[in-house]
Structure 1
Amino acid sequence: MWHERLKLARQAAGLSLRELAAQVHYSRGYLHDLETGRRTPTPETAARLGVALGADLVLSEEAERLAWTAQHPSRPEPGVADHLDMILAGLRRLEDTTSAAAVLPPVLAQVDLVTTLADEVPDRDRLAVVDQLGQWTQFAGWLHAATGDLRRATEFYGRALSAALEANRPDLAATALSMRGHLSWQTKRPGPLLSLTEAALRQAVGPAVRLVAMQQLARGHALAGQVAEADRAMERADRLADQVTEVPPWMYFHDRAYLEMQRGLVLALLGRPEAAAEAVAAGLAGLEPGTAASAWTDQYRELLSAEPADSPQTG
């Protein structure tokens, strides 16, 4: 049973209920109820506990069902793709409030499981599982990029692209291409950044995916010193923002605050430090309190105190 596994994991970690409660910011009484089976955790709570206890798996009933399915892939549990989706959603939310390094081990364990399922489930279930494989490997790519392992990030984005194409998910494929382009942003290479982002825009269908890619295109042009092209891309991104009514689950980070912070990066590269700081400050103010303190916001905070840069040449 899940509650028994939780207790064993806590004891193996050498933590008392009180010590674990302090780490995960839950009450001792709530954790006691989880260990005795009186209460059932949400996927996010289960994921947070798994990270705190150093487990290589998500402590949840969904994970137990998936483990059974991995051992019996020809007879998958009903709704296996839905279980995968619930666990992934919890880990995405957890990464947004903790760090990529903390979430990476359980994500990699789940990627191995989903890969096994995709290889062996019956044909009737395959495309749904391959769709999940694309989302899990895309998330793993992002976590590796956020921890500085760009080689592994490239590998996982390639796997995500392949799975997305097989599952006929053009927006997921576009996101994988766009995030491969983001790796070139991290290494300040405008050439591949622009070409991969343009490839993503050719693939993308939904306005949310096109919007994020268009903002990245603006960053690429700004990095290359192409002021007019960067300004045009920002204008096109603004028009796309008005069209967004739905955001795919793998773009859980997408909101107005994030978009303002992205605008700040472009403005900083264009030599407009006051406007950049204003955009970043507005974006940070719009984040949830737990998210605003996350490690991924550091690059934006640096713009609030950065010295004015030389304006790029018009290109």
Structure 2
Amino acid sequence: MRFQLTEDQLALRGGVRELLARRFGPQQLRAAIDEPGRLDRALWRELGAAGFFALRLPEAQGGVGLGLPESVLAFEEAGRTLLPGPLVATHLAAGAVPGAATGETVVAAVGNGLVEWLEQADVVRGDAAGAVPLRSVDPLTPLHRVPGAVAVDPVAVLLTAAEQLGGATRACELAVQHARTREQFGQPIGAFQAIKHLCAEMLVRTETARAAVYAAAVTADPADIHAARLLADEAAVRGARDCLQVHGGMGFTWEFELHLHLKRAWVRTHRAGDATESEESLAAELLAQPI
């Protein structure tokens, strides 16, 4: 079966991209880095007003009344722009925590022994007693470690995969843009075979992950979700690393956003379970199927 986005879905994705470009562009990203640990409450409320957190909430409850595929598109755009904050936790709390759907309440969640944005959260879902602050590799994702673990919501896994997909897409865009404009020996570096291979491999991984993430959003099958997560993690982490290679290492300097994509991808691999948990869950699902 061939899946294509509907006109409404394309409009939703375009609207989210336009909103984020206007409210969280390069200048706002730099400002966020200069003030690590501070969440832009005005932006959070604007996301709520736009329906970002209430996309799957029924209209009868004040939500948008859409489904998981539309939420995946929105979170893909969030990952593409490195939007900070406990987006997944607040989205999942819409309808259960007052103010979460409108962005008035920031919600954090305990999972896999970690909690993001604990100090900025108004509500924490799960037991955060004994939380210890960690030095996060990503300056835009403050972390605390907490004892114990909680069951992982498959939707959280899928939305995390969607963010990883957005990051992988952006890394691929940055690599291609640099390969076209950077010149060595009188020609763009994209003319060299090694660079061509890196960019091609990034694109293949990204589009493979995209197909898996979009399919999982349609089926909502746990096995599909965990498979999509594994592919999206690989596309995001390896894509950012390969993009660094295309940039010759200078992408890891602070004036480039690229190193932030790699660091965020590393952090996301530990959210909503980790790769090992997804591998185990996927294996269990496959073994349970009749031969």
| TM-score, scaled to structure 1 | 0.29
Larger Rg: 1
**Higher helix fraction (1 or 2):** 1
Bigger RCO (CA 8 Å, 6+ sep) = 2
More strand per residue: 1 or 2? 2
